[in-house]
Amino acid sequence: MSRDASRETVIALVGNPNTGKTSLFNALTGSKQHVGNWPGVTVEKKEGFIQHKDRKIRLVDLPGTYGLRAKSEDEKIAKNYLLDAESDVVLCVCDSTNIERNLYLLLQLREMGKNTVLALNMADEAEKKGIKIDVDLINESFGVTAIKTVATRKQGTKELLQASLLAESQKNEDFAISYGEVIDEALSDITKIIPKTNLRSNLRYLALRLLEGDSDIEKLVDEKTLTLTAKLREKIEKLYDDDISSLVAEARYKYLSSIIQKAIRRTNTEVSWSDKLDRIFTHKKLGIPIFLLIMFLVFQLTNTLSAPLVEWIENGFAYLSEITNTALTNVGIDGVWSSLISDGIIAGVGSVLTFLPQIALLFLGISILEDTGYMARVTYLMDKIMQSMGLSGKAFIPMILGFGCNVTAVMASRTLETKEDRILSILANPFISCSARLPVYVLFTGAFFPKHQGLVLFLIYLLGIIMAIFTSWLFKKILFKGKSSPLVMELPPYRLPSFKNTWNQVAGRVQTFLTKAGTVILGASVIIWALATLPSGVEYASEASLLGRIGSLIAPLFSLAGFGTWQAAAALSFGVLAKEVVVTSLAVLFSTSEAGLPAILPMHFTSASALSFMVMSLLYMPCAATLGAIKRETGSRKWMILSMVYSLVIGLVLSVLVYQVAIRLGW
**CA pair distance 263, 19, nearest whole angstrom:** 20
Contact 58, 8 (CB under 8 A): yes
Closest to 380 measured CA to CA, from 290, 295, 492, 487: 487
**Beta strands 9-15 and 89-95: pairing type?**
parallel
Site for other proteins contains 295 (CB under 8 A): no
Strand partners for 57: 9, 50
Q: Minimum CB separation from other proteins for residue 371, in Å? A: 17
3-state class (DSSP) for residue 609: helix
Contact pick of 7, 128, 132, 231 for other proteins (by CB under 8 A): 231
Q: Minimum CB separation from other proteins for residue 71, in Å? A: 5
Contact pick of 63, 287, 402, 464 for other proteins (by CB under 8 A): 287
Site for other proteins contains 249 (CB under 8 A): yes
Question: Which of 39, 486 has the CB closer to other proteins?
Answer: 486
Chain-centroid distance of CA 568 in Å reads 35
Closest to 397 measured CA to CA, from 387, 410, 384: 410
Site for other proteins contains 383 (CB under 8 A): yes
Which residues 391-420 are close enough to bind other proteins by CB under 8 A?
A: 393
Question: Which of 104, 355 has the CB closer to other proteins?
Answer: 104
**CA pair distance 623, 408, nearest whole angstrom:** 12
Q: Which residues contact 324 (CB under 8 A, 6 or more apart)?
A: 338, 341, 342, 346
Contact pick of 25, 175, 363, 380 for other proteins (by CB under 8 A): 380
Contact pick of 71, 171, 196, 664 for other proteins (by CB under 8 A): 71
Residue count, binding to other proteins (CB under 8 A) = 49
Site for other proteins contains 227 (CB under 8 A): yes
Site for other proteins contains 271 (CB under 8 A): no
Contact pick of 196, 219, 284, 451 for other proteins (by CB under 8 A): 284
Span interacting with other proteins, options 63-71, 117-125, 578-586, 657-665, rule CB under 8 A: 63-71
Question: Which of 69, 419 has the CB closer to other proteins?
Answer: 69
Contact 155, 123 (CB under 8 A): yes
Indicate the burial class of 546 (C-beta count within 10 angstroms; 0-12, 13-18, 19 or more): middle
Contact 625, 578 (CB under 8 A): yes
Span interacting with other proteins, options 189-197, 457-465, 485-493, 657-665, rule CB under 8 A: 485-493
Contact pick of 487, 530, 550, 554 for other proteins (by CB under 8 A): 487
Closest to 614 measured CA to CA, from 450, 472, 448, 451: 448
**CA pair distance 609, 341, nearest whole angstrom:** 35
Site for other proteins contains 67 (CB under 8 A): yes
Binding-site string for other proteins from residue 102 to residue 141, where x marks contact by CB under 8 A and - marks none: --x-------------------------------------
Q: Which residues contact 531 (CB under 8 A, 6 or more apart)?
A: 545, 546, 547, 550
Question: Which of 176, 182 has the CB closer to other proteins?
Answer: 182
Binding site for other proteins (CB under 8 A): 66-67, 69, 71-72, 98, 100-101, 104, 181-182, 227, 230-231, 234, 238-240, 242-243, 245-246, 249-250, 253, 278, 282-285, 287-288, 376, 379-381, 383-385, 387, 393, 486-493
